[in-house]
Amino acid sequence: MKNNLCTLRCLLFLLLCLSIATVRAESLSLMPAPQSVQLKQGHWILPDEVTVWHSGLSADHQRSVRDILASLQRTVILTHASGAKADIYLHVDAPAKPGEVPHLNSIESYRLAVEKQGIVISAAQSWGALHALQTLRQWVSLHGSQLQRGSIDDAPRFAWRGLLLDSVRHFLPVETLKRQLRGMASAKLNVFHWHLTDDQGWRLPIDGYPRLHQFASDGQYYTHQQITDVVSYAASLGIRVMPEVDLPGHASALAVAYPALMSAPGPYNMERNWGVFEPLLDPTNPDALTVVNAVLKQLAALFPDRYVHIGGDEVNPAQWDNNPRIQAYMRSHGLADSHALHAHFNRYLQQALAKHQRHMMGWDEILHPDLRKDVVVQSWRGVDSLHDIVKAGHPAILSSGFYIDQPQFSDYHYRNDPVPDGTSPAEITSSPSTDWQRLRGQMPRLKGTPVVITIWYSEQAQQAIVQLDQRHPKPARHVEFTNGKTVIQLDSWMGPLTAVIATPRQSQIWVGNTPYPLTILQPFDALAKEDVPMIHTSARGTEGSKILGAEATLWSELVTSDIIDQRIWPRLYGIAERLWSPASLQDPVAMYQRLWRMNSFAADVVGLQHHQQWQKGVARWAGHPSAVEDALLMTELLEPAHYYTRHHLHYRQGRYHQQAVLDGLVDILAVESAPMLQLERQIRQFTLAPSSAEQLHIQQTLQNYQSALKRLQQRFSAEPKLALVDRLQRYVEQGLALLHQCGSDNVHYTLHQTPSLPDNEIVMAIARPVAQLVKWCDNRR
């Protein structure tokens, strides 16, 4: 009898194990992927009329619950009556207080369980409950209302997951900001970093100093009521709002309003150009400090968040250096140079903010031995800077590698982990290879000094180490030697780099999708292994615990409210996943598969306007209603040039300023063409294992583009647009020829392209899949 009971228990346990399966966190296609997913047998159907029983939600959060579920085309009934029957039971341990806002280290974890009788959501605080509802909304949108039973246990990896929006260079209306906040909430981002002052404008009124918004904003500023409204709206979505007022540099607008506060006499005019300018606040002037105190007091009154960002970046010391009174002040206070004066001023700002119970935050230029250790420092200059920040004992935020105003591929951002896996901060390569060689080259830029590149390469070990300028050397991400060319890939502060080293005339550097020439200064020469540099990696271990998280940044030189969604979505979901989900998620193919699904979700459910902005811009470019459908297909073959190539071209062309019109075709192109990335993957798979079915599929794709381009050629036969269409058609036709005639003498195998500085803002994305076919044919010759 005892043996029978034991057997029965074992069978029951086995059945239980079979009915509950822990699956990969990304298996539901949710983004960001949850920490843990367990699915069971059986389903529950979410009805069209949803009753939600809740405990612990404020009135604002109740409205958010309604909005989230209403976006699923559901009628929502909220109740907190005792014993009420509901479809969703939502319980928060610590009830939110009226007007409560999130803060750093708010508890955002949650549990979402789909049971036989409905959904149960539990969270320690309401912020986690809001995340759970965002997860539910994605789940239903992507998989339908029949939900598989199971549970999701989830919590963020980093406490600080932000997006910076620049309302200065191009003003962003409140409704535009709220729409991005809704998108942020759907991606579980929790910090809106609001950049409010800069050289081109001052966007908030300060009590007692009306000239700031009257004379330095062009009439475009946020009233106190609008700011309060944005802060309240963000809090209802679980998002903090942190203001940034840039001090002491980026002060041209401040100089227009109050020139006597500057370090050099005025008058000053509104700055319309983009760049770094000389106007610099005089930190030795008592009147300037009085205004600064008024500004900080106003920020504390309007923004309940504990952190205030004081900028502190790109300080041009010329006005300080040329002012005798400031120089005398520095000597009397023992300040050796402008960096010391800047640190002296930052200590004043920190103390002034402390009086308002606020913590100071600034860009990485504020780092100084005298800076208080509780000041948060934000790195925009790279992982070297991040390492210096945490080594100095400061809480750190990473933004380098998350600059989304730079068009870049999403997988580059996805690899950019604030605390990547790795070994110690300094470690020599462990390869036993003795065939190390070194090459020095130079990459020119359209604006600024050339970038000097040093490469240490071992063909035997298939390893490379790369140094850009004087930054710390980094190990290459990928190395190969093929067809007489050495190809080295590296993630850098400029973006993903691919160095293709061949003959001195044919070597080049790709930054994202954009080629630059690589001038060989010193060809590969042999060297001893002991001359191979130490590899410097990012913060590790206990230092890594100082890293609070990261922020994506969208500076708005080339961004307006008409195209902002197109610049942010859907790729911000990939960055959000890097900051929320397990670090072990590294598969770029799986990331892209989910990202393209989020593309439709963001537009159709969240209400983001990236699709609308794209379609509207293409219709404007096409000019003829009958050409719009073909023109939309044509834009799939194109991308904007990556890195800051577009900014630099605008600078060279005299269009790098606030009045430049941003309504061209390039302004509405997707940062990365999903169809071209998919076509590249299909061709790569085909070339590894050719099949007639795959070949037919690729052929049909190219023929669809060919037909659309032929119709556009007829439509634009007498217009300048024809040149672009003709160029695309040549690529498509070459792709078809390569697909069918590979090995024949009648087809040209090489995409003839002599490396030169880019001269166009638009990149032929179709060239990449065609290049895959060229490589395949070259290998078969």
Cα dihedral 115/120/123/128 (nearest 10): 90
> 160-166 and 547-554 as β-strands: parallel, antiparallel, unpaired?
parallel
Tell me the pLDDT band of 426, cut-offs 50, 70 and 90.
Answer: very low
Tell me the pLDDT band of 15, cut-offs 50, 70 and 90.
Answer: very low
Helix (H) or strand (E) holding 501: strand 495-501
Catalytic (active-site) positions: 198, 250, 314
Give the lowest-confidence range in 23-27, 625-629, 698-702: 23-27
CB 101 within 8 A of CB 64: no
The token pair that represents 116 in the structure block = 């036989």
What's the pLDDT score for residue 539? 46
Tell me the pLDDT band of 755, cut-offs 50, 70 and 90.
Answer: low
Give the lowest-confidence range in 54-58, 293-297, 648-652: 54-58
Tell me the pLDDT band of 19, cut-offs 50, 70 and 90.
Answer: very low
pLDDT at residue 18 above 80? no
Q: Over the stretch 41-90, which tens digit does the pLDDT of each residue have? A: 999 999 999 999 999 899 999 999 999 999 999 999 999 998 889 999 99
CB 556 within 8 A of CB 169: yes
Q: Over the stretch 371-385, which tens digit does the pLDDT of each residue have? A: 999 999 999 999 889
Helix (H) or strand (E) holding 506: none
Tell me the pLDDT band of 532, cut-offs 50, 70 and 90.
Answer: confident
Q: What is the DSSP letter of 449?
A: P
CB 195 within 8 A of CB 167: yes
Tell me the pLDDT band of 21, cut-offs 50, 70 and 90.
Answer: low
What's the pLDDT score for residue 553? 98
Tell me the pLDDT band of 775, cut-offs 50, 70 and 90.
Answer: confident
Mean pLDDT over residues 554-576, rounded?
98
Residue 310's nearest CA partner among 258, 365, 257, 255 is 365
Reading phi first (left if > 0) and then psi (alpha if -120 to 50, else beta), residue 250 is in left
Alpha helix ranges (H) inside 22-120: 59-70
What's the pLDDT score for residue 10? 46
Mean pLDDT over residues 491-505, rounded?
91
Mean pLDDT over residues 491-497, rounded?
95
Comparison of pLDDT for 21 and 341, the residue scoring more? 341
Give the lowest-confidence range in 14-23, 207-216, 705-714: 14-23
Residue 58's nearest CA partner among 125, 156, 110 is 125
Q: Over the stretch 185-194, which tens digit does the pLDDT of each residue have? A: 999 999 999 9
Share of the chain above pLDDT 90, in %: 83
CATH number of 160-419+547-553: 3.20.20.80
The token pair that represents 685 in the structure block = 């798979």
Distance CA 197, CA 636 (A): 37
Q: What is the mean pLDDT of the chain?
A: 92
pLDDT at residue 12 above 70? no
Distance CA 234, CA 130 (A): 12
Q: Over the stretch 102-118, which tens digit does the pLDDT of each residue have? A: 999 999 999 999 999 99
Residue ranges of domains in the chain: 19-154, 160-419+547-553, 426-536, 609-780
What's the pLDDT score for residue 482? 78
pLDDT at residue 22 above 80? no
What's the pLDDT score for residue 640? 97
Q: Kindly indicate whether the domain formed by 19-154 is annotated with CATH number 3.90.1210.10.
A: no
The token pair that represents 642 in the structure block = 């990556």
What's the pLDDT score for residue 427? 40
What's the pLDDT score for residue 314? 96
Mean pLDDT over residues 412-430, rounded?
66
The token pair that represents 779 in the structure block = 């290998």
> What stretches of 655-729 adopt beta strand conformation (E)?
none
Tell me the pLDDT band of 530, cut-offs 50, 70 and 90.
Answer: confident
Q: Over the stretch 387-405, which tens digit does the pLDDT of each residue have? A: 999 999 999 999 999 999 9
